[in-house]
């Protein structure tokens, strides 16, 4: 629905069918319901502890950058999942931002159509001194979750490294967590400033041998450029985009090697709901996807402190 016109566009039959598809099969959901009373209590406690850890107080706003070594990794999906998790568990506001020119992947995953961008804030008559003054520029996703693209319709419009420090950084004080989705193949001043100012990083790659090699090359580059300690601030996420995408990929072995550098490693398995639709329903993603996203959020928050 458009906030300006109030018009609702009816979804197509194909879109309705895709969005209704659950991440878990009916058999798996049915079996989980039967076995729930017999599952060990530590499994329930683990989920509760994850949620409680995510609710811990943050004294100052934390910025988490989600990026990829190469295109097609699914970092916008991971950003949207993390934003949903943080907004669900935390009591403060969460801001999401896509700073890749020409990309609306994050907005599509969140199911919104932003009408303003950071550039509009930059061109405003005065800097917002409160959340209420910033609110007209934001797009509400759901309770406590907001979006503000770095650019609109692919137009950079003078948004540069100075804009990041002058405009974006002051705005993040109105949010507990700010998630920034960026393409690793973009090296302008704005993206470099976002990367350098992050409290933690989430690096996303396909759950394949090539994906693992792209992460390894990124870590080697960090070491060669004097950032050998940076992997300790990184959560590596391997995303399986198709069932059995790469049967030869040794996920456990790759994770062990990457953890030696100090990074955390989490895998998101194939999810039928995420694969079938653009704007996902948090209630329909697979249980394993929800658990993985919660663990990624917790690992990123731990590294951001």
Residue 156 pLDDT grade (very low, low, confident, very high; cuts 50, 70, 90): low
DSSP 80-115: HHHHHHHHHH-SS-EEEEE-STT--HHHHHHT----
Q: Which two tokens stand for residue 255?
A: 């994770």
- Has residue 231 been placed in a domain? yes
How does the average pLDDT of the chain come out, rounded? Answer: 83
In the block, residue with structure tokens 């409290």: 199
- Bridge partners of 64, per DSSP, are 179, 200
pLDDT band at 155 (very low <50, low <70, confident <90, very high): low
Q: Kindly report, residue by residue over 32-58, the tens digit of the pLDDT.
A: 434 434 444 344 447 678 888 899 888
What is the pTM (predicted TM-score) of this model?
A: 0.84
**E strands present in 168-281:** 177-181, 200-206, 234-239, 264-268
Share of the chain above pLDDT 90, in %: 56
The pLDDT, as a whole number, for residue 187 is: 66
In a domain, 37, yes or no: yes
Give domain status of residue 131, yes or no: yes
- For residue 119, name the pLDDT band (cuts at 50, 70, 90): confident
6 falls within a domain:
no
CATH of the domain at 175: 3.40.50.300
Quick: pLDDT tens for 224-264. 877 778 889 999 999 999 998 899 999 999 999 999 989 99
At CA 117, angle to CA 113 and CA 118, rounded to 5? 150
- Total domains in the chain come to 1
Asked if residue 4 belongs to a domain, the reply is: no
Instruction: Give pLDDT tens digits for 261-270.
Output: 899 999 999 9
Which candidate, 235, 234, 230, 238, places its Cα nearest to that of 212? 238
Residue-number span of the structural domain to which 154 is assigned: 13-304
Give domain status of residue 289, yes or no. Answer: yes
């Amino acid at each position: 629905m458009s906030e300006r016109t109030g018009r609702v566009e009816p979804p197509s039959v194909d879109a309705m069918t895709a969005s209704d598809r659950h991440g878990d099969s009916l058999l798996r959901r049915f079996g989980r319901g039967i076995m729930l009373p017999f599952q060990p209590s530590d499994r329930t406690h683990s989920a509760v502890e994850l949620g409680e850890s995510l609710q811990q107080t943050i004294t100052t706003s934390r910025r988490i950058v989600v990026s990829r070594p190469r295109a097609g990794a699914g970092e916008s999906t991971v950003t949207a999942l993390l934003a949903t998790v943080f907004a669900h568990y935390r009591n403060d506001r969460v801001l999401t931002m896509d700073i890749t020119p020409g990309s609306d992947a994050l907005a599509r995953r969140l199911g919104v159509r932003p009408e303003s961008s950071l550039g509009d804030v930059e061109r405003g008559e005065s800097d917002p001194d409160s959340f209420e003054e910033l609110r007209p520029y934001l797009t509400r996703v759901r309770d406590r979750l907001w979006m503000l693209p770095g650019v609109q319709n692919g137009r950079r419009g003078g948004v540069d490294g100075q804009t990041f420090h002058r405009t974006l950084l002051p705005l993040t004080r109105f949010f507990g967590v700010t998630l920034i989705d960026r393409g690793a193949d973009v090296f302008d001043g704005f993206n470099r400033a976002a990367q350098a100012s992050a409290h933690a990083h989430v690096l996303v790659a396909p759950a394949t041998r090539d994906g693992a090699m792209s992460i390894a090359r990124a870590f080697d580059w960090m070491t060669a450029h004097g950032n050998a300690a940076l992997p300790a601030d990184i959560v590596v996420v391997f995303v399986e985009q198709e069932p059995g995408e790469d049967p030869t990929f040794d996920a456990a072995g790759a994770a062990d090697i990457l953890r030696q550098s100090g990074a955390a490693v989490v895998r998101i398995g194939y999810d039928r709901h995420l694969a079938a639709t653009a704007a996902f329903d948090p209630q329909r993603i697979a249980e394993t996807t929800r658990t993985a996203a919660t663990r990624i959020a917790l690992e990123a928050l731990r590294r951001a402190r």
